[in-house]
Amino acid sequence: MNRVFLSRKDAEKYFELIKSQEDLSYFELARLWKINPRTLRDWKNGQYSFPEELSRKVEQRYKIPLPQAAMIENDSDIKARAGKIGAVERMKKYGNPGTPLGRSKGGKISLLTHQKNNNGFKIAKLFPTPQKTSLLAEFIGIMLGDGGLTDYQTRITLNKIDDMDYVDYVKEIANKLFLEYPSLSSGRGKAIDLVISGKNLVDFLISMGLVKGDKIKQKIHIPSWINNRNEWKLSVLRGLFDTDGSVYLDKHYKKNIVYKSICVAYTSYSAPLQSNIYDLLVEFGFFPTISTINRIMLRKKEEVMKFFELVKPGNGKHVGRYRQYLEA
């Protein structure tokens, strides 16, 4: 399979032309093409290549050709080039495996690794250590909402019916951060679990401010490092809303007339986390109310519209309901 490489500028123009032809949002276009919205966003930003087959279908349907500067490469060539780079780096670190010296160097490094871990030949799975970014802040928000840590597992529990599009969205985030897609397993009822096994990942997430075990008893809260940048604050609000938030239509009656208004709400049973969410919403110019002990709400249509514009929820369930109720 061939893949197409575009510069950021060319990619933005190319996909913007397609979007204008369909008169759809990028989220809706991704659903039409049956791909994850984040994947389409990465193609549009020129971060990743895309299948040449897609460009053929685009030209056939929309009469939009690839930009002249587009580069097309075969998968095997891409993998071969990556393999050569990997081989060079490996030889720098371990020596040439085809020589006695190289084998000796590799063996010594392996033994040092075993000694350092002090666990025989059972090597803990290694994960990359992501920098503090908006993507990591969003993942922390997801974990604070519907996630949990055990000694050896990172687990996120979603709804297998309502959240299936969001399951793919979360899998992509996890892979970008930790270079591993979570495995899926059915939980009780409508639950579906996304699981990554590995003590090193659990330890890393704890170092980022998460906790093992019961989150409520341990009074979870938004880690302090997220408060250093506004984009991180918005990202953690997104992750929390996508998992523990809701969009609904509030109805009340006055003189036999039904009045309807769109609302959004966060639900949290952790007092410190609820306080964090409330404070962040106020910081971004919202006027939240606490309707029950564990529920924070935005009840004005203008605020709900501003919320979706700023926070940009990634859960299609919420986006769909927002569009449905907005005109009610």
Q: Record the tokens describing residue 172, joined without a space.
A: 């992509």
Q: Give the model confidence (pLDDT) of 271-316 as tens digits.
A: 999 999 999 999 999 999 987 778 999 999 999 999 999 999 999 9
CATH number of 134-225: 3.10.28.10
pLDDT for 1 equals 73
Q: What is the pLDDT of residue 13?
A: 92
Indicate the pLDDT class of residue 70, thresholds 50, 70 and 90: confident
Structure tokens at 296: 């924070």
Does residue 127 have a pLDDT over 90? no
Give the pLDDT band (50/70/90) at residue 68.
confident
What six digits make up the tokens of 263?
A: 């609302």
Query: What pLDDT is stored for residue 33 in this prediction?
Result: 86
Look at residue 146 in the predicted model and tell me its pLDDT: 94
Q: Of 177, 110, 172, give the one whose Cα is nearest residue 137.
A: 177
Q: Is the pLDDT of residue 81 over 80?
A: no
Q: Where are the domains of the chain?
A: 2-69, 75-117, 134-225, 239-326
Fold of 2-69: 434 Repressor (Amino-terminal Domain) (1.10.260)
49, 51, 55, 60: CA torsion to nearest 10: -170
pLDDT mean across residues, the chain: 86
Stretch among 70-79, 116-125, 177-186, 209-218 having the lowest mean pLDDT: 116-125
Question: Is pLDDT of 132 > 60?
Answer: yes
| pLDDT band, residue 238 (cuts 50/70/90) | very high
Residue 186 vs residue 158, higher pLDDT: 158
At 9-46, the pLDDT tens digits run 999 999 999 988 878 888 888 888 888 888 889 999 98
- Order of strands, sheet of 257-267, starting from the edge strand that comes earlier in the sequence: 245-254, 257-267, 295-298, 289-292
Q: Is the dihedral of CA 76, 78, 81, 87 positive or negative?
A: negative
Identify the pLDDT of residue 254: 74
Q: Of 103, 166, 102, give the one whose Cα is nearest residue 314.
A: 166
114 has pLDDT over 60 = no
With 90 as the cut, is the pLDDT of residue 157 above it? Answer: yes
pTM: 0.64
Average pLDDT over residues 232-260: 89
Query: What CATH class is the domain 239-326?
Result: alpha beta
- The tokens 């030889």 sit on which residue? 91
- Name the pairing type of β-strands 245-254 and 183-186: unpaired
What does the pLDDT read at residue 251? 79
Q: Which residues pair with 257 in a beta bridge?
A: 254
pLDDT of 113 over the 70 cut: no
- What 172-181 contacts at long range (C-beta under 8 Å, 24+ apart), as own/partner pairs, is 172/36, 172/38, 172/39, 173/38, 173/135, 173/138, 173/139, 173/142, 174/139, 176/135, 177/128, 177/130, 177/135, 177/136, 177/139, 178/127, 178/128, 178/130, 179/127, 179/128, 180/127
CA dist list (Å): 231 to 78, 213, 227, 284, 301: 34, 29, 9, 11, 23
Residue 95's pLDDT band, with cuts at 50, 70 and 90, is: low
Residue 117 is predicted with a pLDDT of: 59
What is the reported pLDDT for 25? 85
Residue 9's SS3 state is helix
pLDDT reported for residue 176? 95
Considering only CA atoms, which of 229, 248, 207, 67 is closest in space to residue 135?
229
Backbone φ and ψ for 314, nearest 5 degrees, come out as -105, -10
Same-fold call for 134-225 versus 239-326:
yes
* Helix pair angle (100-117, 75-94), 10° resolution: 80
| Residue 186 confidence class, pLDDT cut points 50, 70, 90 | confident
User: What confidence score (pLDDT) does residue 228 get?
Assistant: 97
CA angle, 156 as apex, 151 and 157 as ends, to 5°?
120
Comparison of pLDDT for 217 and 291, the residue scoring more = 217
Split at pLDDT 50, 70, 90, the class of 102 is low
